[in-house]
Amino acid sequence: MKKVCFIASECVPFVKTGGLADVVGSLPKYFDKEKFDVRVIIPDYTCIPETYRSQMQYRTHFYMNYNGRDRYVGIMEMDYDGIHYYFVDNEEYFSGPGPYTDMFYDLEKFAFFCKAALSILPVVDFRPDIIHCHDWQTGLIPVHLKDKFAGGEFYRGIKTVMTIHNLKFQGVWDVKTIQRLSELSDYYFTPDKLEHYKNGNMLKGGIVYADYVTTVSETYAREIQTPFYGENLDGLMRARSGQLWGIVNGIDYDVYNPATDKLIERRYTVDTFRRDKVKNKIALQKELGLRDDPKVMMIGIVSRLTDQKGFDLIQCVMDELCSDAVQLVVLGTGDAKYENMFRHYDWKYADTVSAMICYNEAMSHKIYASCDAFLMPSLFEPCGLSQLMSLRYGTVPIVRETGGLKDTVEPYNEYEKTGTGFSFANYNAHEMLGTIRYAEQIFYDKERDWNKIVERAMRKDFSWKASAKKYEELYNIM
């Protein structure tokens, strides 16, 4: 049996700020339990809800020398959903209202966490064959295994995987600071190791020293080898391309299931959506004060409102889009300029545009279930989960062909009668608008074809089961 240890800075359901938490919390449950013993280590943040904190058991504690001081390392543990979790406890580092504060403080917090996470393994008597690290917060772990932890018998031969969820975030500061926090010698701060354009870079350390590097879609794995998407690491990604895998994330098919979802007005399946899906739309129109019209095309957006997500394109053509026969429902928070833009259009087109500038899990489910189409024109998108959720609910995605969006949404072909959504290639507002209008045309004029797109979308399998098989394949060659 292969032993695998996931080490990460966040994990559903304990603490979540983004898709990383979904991967770390969901993926371990889907490995074949007879072949893989997968456990998870995360920090014991004081912001973890009391419902979970009260279930944690104290295992033991010890003192670890870090940066010239002996520091407390407590180990809490619990079984949740069939997976064993370890929590590294140190209130000096892990208290506060959220998992992240300012970058400078986070660098020290996660440098400490990397060393502590490796140090607890012999104490809890778990020697993994593979340590699976996630994002820059755990980037020092593959380096430490070749350095301070290399001498001991216990750590010898442990392999590492480094997963990049978003290459934009790298854990960068000046060399002197990163060297002090990582406790690594001058040897590691050269351009082929942790030094990067005169700075120290924690993610780069993980990429250089890990046995394999993965990212969250095949297209993104190719994109990050180019200057546009490579965030100044494209040369390194090309150098490691032989050990670079792209594996698409999944979503939890138990949570996102229109047949059993308690948060939506009317449940439906691939066999009943023609009759029942529209009842969700009618209920949402009433709830949001939009014009009652079961036949109008409703387009949904659930997103962080940032440049990365393509909102500058939407901003360019918003008036033109609002003059079409569509309703637009937006849920999310982000940059003030986009929040205010949507508030303005909500006021200007009160019966066709609804903007909720907040995040509301129940409302997101209602939008996935009620809308006819889902708009996601991202500039770059390592994987993207919203399009997977919209496919699951039979809400046809309209996306830009980048990263995970390109890998998961097959563009509609009216001649071959194939496809699960609509897509456009160039980052251009009017190309996006043309694609939306093409989708409108199919929706209004070719209802039978539209329903077939919905059916194909709902039959796709983007569950974690499919992702886990790919990771098992990777672990088996290590």
How far apart are alpha carbons 204 and 143 in whole angstroms? Answer: 10
Structure tokens at 186: 């001058």
How far apart are alpha carbons 166 and 274 in whole angstroms? Answer: 37
Q: 38 or 18: which carries more pLDDT confidence? A: 38
Per residue in 7-19, pLDDT (tens digit) is: 999 999 999 988 8
The DSSP secondary structure of 414-434, one letter per residue, reads TTTTB-SBEEE-SS-HHHHHH
| Mean pLDDT of the 289-303 span | 97
How far apart are alpha carbons 175 and 183 in whole angstroms? Answer: 12
Q: Look at domain 273-460 and name its CATH class.
A: alpha beta
How far apart are alpha carbons 244 and 236 in whole angstroms? Answer: 11
Fold agreement between 2-250+465-477 and 273-460: yes
In the chain, domain spans: 2-250+465-477, 273-460
Contact 148, 182 (CB under 8 A): no
How far apart are alpha carbons 125 and 167 in whole angstroms? Answer: 33
pLDDT band at 478 (very low <50, low <70, confident <90, very high): very high
Per residue in 157-207, pLDDT (tens digit) is: 999 999 999 999 999 999 999 999 999 999 999 999 999 999 999 999 999
**Per-residue pLDDT for 359 more than 90?**
no
- According to CATH, the superfamily of the domain at 2-250+465-477 is Glycogen Phosphorylase B; (3.40.50.2000)
**Per-residue pLDDT for 90 more than 90?**
yes
**Per-residue pLDDT for 337 more than 90?**
yes
- Residue 203 to residues 11, 311, 313, Cα–Cα distance (Å): 19, 28, 31
Per residue in 389-427, pLDDT (tens digit) is: 999 999 999 999 999 999 999 999 999 999 999 999 999
pLDDT band at 151 (very low <50, low <70, confident <90, very high): confident
**Per-residue pLDDT for 443 more than 90?**
yes
**Per-residue pLDDT for 152 more than 90?**
no
How far apart are alpha carbons 390 and 374 in whole angstroms? Answer: 7
- Kindly state the percentage of the chain with pLDDT values over 70: 100
pLDDT band at 277 (very low <50, low <70, confident <90, very high): very high
DSSP H or E segment with residue 396: strand 396-400
Q: Which residues contact 164 (CB under 8 A, 6 or more apart)?
A: 135, 203, 207, 213, 214, 215, 216, 224, 382
For residue 13, say if its preceding peptide bond is cis, omega within 30 degrees of 0: yes
- Residue 163 to residues 8, 61, 197, 282, 469, Cα–Cα distance (Å): 10, 29, 22, 42, 16
| Mean pLDDT of the 295-316 span | 97
